[in-house]
Structure 1
Amino acid sequence: MAIYGKGGIGKSTTVANIAAAYSRAGKKVMVIGCDPKADTTRTLCGRRISTIIDTLKDNKKPELGDLVYEGFNGIKCVESGGPEPGVGCAGRGVIVAMKRLEQLHAFDEQFDVILYDVLGDVVCGGFSVPLREDYADEVFIVSSGEYMSLYAANNITKGINKLKGNLGGIICNRRGTDNEIKIVESFAERIGTQVIGIIERSNLIQRSELDAKTVVEYASDSVEADAYYKLADDIFENENYSIPEPMDNDEFEDFFKSFLD
């Protein structure tokens, strides 16, 4: 499963928590962070792990154990990494990482779930690798009901459409704006998909991240953890996929303005 969305919208939080939920359900899970910030697996490992790109700088012939770390409840964790800001193509790190993982037979192990946390307002270059190279069978987009978040989601669907990807739905990560759920549900319907889950804004989720833990680990009996358990189940059992039909920019502007008038 590839999880896309605007930078800062909560992809890493979503990926880490549903990974933790899957592992608690007895599933064998791998998480691959494809963001140069390399923070996807921090709450699963309790710290930032070395990225594949950084490891390759010092070790030209790494073994699989040098690249894959074990996190919460046995989850296998990987960070692709990338160049420093302003130096080189960020997506290049994803390409290098995936090729090296293949060479070392990282995917020979029988995982129940492999999750890719993918940066990008537009699915292009290295960030399209999980789809273009058939590493991911399913795509989900994290978005709030805010203008820029949905604008990015619409752009992402353009890439998914071109790559004939299977979009499983929108994960609404709420920011508390007016008519938020209605806007996201209307957007999903407009592009030919569904809202697969809703995550409410919560200080407890932020508190758990400050302790470098998922809320599933930090407060396993909380309402917030339950929301991630439900989301994980709904994604795993989902059979409703589509090739999305994105709006052009003018259509999107009119769509969003209709909720403000």
Structure 2
Amino acid sequence: MKIISIINQKGGVGKTTTVINLAAGLSQLNKKVLVIDLDPQGNATTGLGLSNTDDSELTIYGVLNGSKSILDCIKKTKFSNLDLITSNVDLSGLEVETAGDEKRAFILKEKLADFSKENQQNYDYILIDCPPSLSLLTVMALVSSVTLLVPLQTEFFALEGLTQLMKTIERVKSNLNPKLGIQGILLTMYDKRNKLSSEVEKEAREYFKDKVYTTVIPRNVRLSEAPSHGVPVLIYDKTCPGSKSYFSFTDEFLNKEFQIESVA
């Protein structure tokens, strides 16, 4: 059971879109996937067809405040092999509520460890959709994960923001989670008509080398339409450029996984 956080402290970079469509792509290849929506906005929740206005405690907030277990909160989506722990706005109060807890950064990790012990080999992947900030919730995800997937939009301030994120990752690695690594960097919102997109791509590939996936995700209207229908774009419109890119990315993601396992 591999735990991967999809992270970037900048909003609007295609993070939730990547979570939803990677999860859908993996599930279609018969991988069992659990998505944890760790963003109080609950976009991954609605993007997979569930409600983010549900005020019950059967959400990730219920898990992190200690009232529920992970098993209690897993909900089925309408897609086979793909389950979800939903989020809602209650999650935004967690930082204040846990202010006195010295070990609060480890709450999610401990809950996932308990779940893993009780439910051996239940999921191939747990994908955590992080909030667009370097907050307590993001640190919880970093502490819990084996690797990180970073969507990087091919725009002007993208690499500047990434430098800040790398510093945070290094701090978490040295103090809280020495095994943390970067799975890969996915270039998103790519516009081949725009010279800036190719310049950002060139810089990212020069700096991060083979950590940058070959697949790039283009700007695509269908990608932004799909969440309002509560389905991944891979199901909403299989033939659009966004879908083709995410299908290709899923294959590349699994091939890299296979290479990492072979080396190990």
TM-score by length of 2: 0.74
Deviates more, 1:165-174 or 1:145-154: 145-154
> Are residue 69 (structure 1) and residue 90 (structure 2) matched?
no
Residue from 23, 46, 49 that aligns with 2:27:
23
Q: Mind listing any 5+ residue stretches in structure 1 that lack a counterpart?
A: 242-261
| Contact preservation (8 Å) 1:94, 1:129 | yes
| Contact preservation (8 Å) 1:160, 1:167 | no
Identity of aligned residues (%): 21
Structure-2 change in CA distance of 1:193 and 1:216 (3 Å): same
Distance 1:90 1:227 in 2: 40
1:236 aligned residue: 254
> Are residue 112 (structure 1) and residue 124 (structure 2) matched?
yes
Distance 1:63 1:125 in 2: 20
1:51 aligned residue: 59
Q: For residue 78 of structure 1, what is the amino acid of its counterpart?
A: I
Distance 2:161 2:94 in 1: 23
SS at match of 1:30: strand
Distance 2:72 2:122 in 1: 20
| Contact preservation (8 Å) 2:155, 2:196 | no
1:4 aligned residue: 7
Q: For residue 82 of structure 2, what is the amino acid of its counterpart?
A: I
Distance 1:224 1:75 in 2: 20
TM-score by length of 1: 0.75
SS at match of 1:168: strand
| Contact preservation (8 Å) 1:11, 1:142 | yes
Q: Mind listing any 5+ residue stretches in structure 2 that lack a counterpart?
A: 99-103
| Contact preservation (8 Å) 1:168, 1:193 | no
| Contact preservation (8 Å) 1:41, 1:79 | yes
Q: For residue 234 of structure 1, what is the amino acid of its counterpart?
A: E
Structure-2 change in CA distance of 1:88 and 1:75 (3 Å): closer
Structure-2 change in CA distance of 1:94 and 1:207 (3 Å): farther
Q: For residue 131 of structure 2, what is the amino acid of its counterpart?
A: L
Structure-2 change in CA distance of 1:184 and 1:26 (3 Å): same
1:254 aligned residue: none
The size of the alignment, in residue pairs, is 235
Distance 1:96 1:116 in 2: 14
Structure-2 change in CA distance of 1:91 and 1:13 (3 Å): farther
Deviates more, 1:12-21 or 1:228-237: 228-237
Kindly indicate which of the two structures has a greater share of residues assigned to helix.
2
Structure-2 change in CA distance of 1:209 and 1:63 (3 Å): same
Shift of 1:147: 2.8
> Are residue 209 (structure 1) and residue 218 (structure 2) matched?
no
> Are residue 227 (structure 1) and residue 233 (structure 2) matched?
no
RMSD value over aligned CA atoms? Answer: 3.2
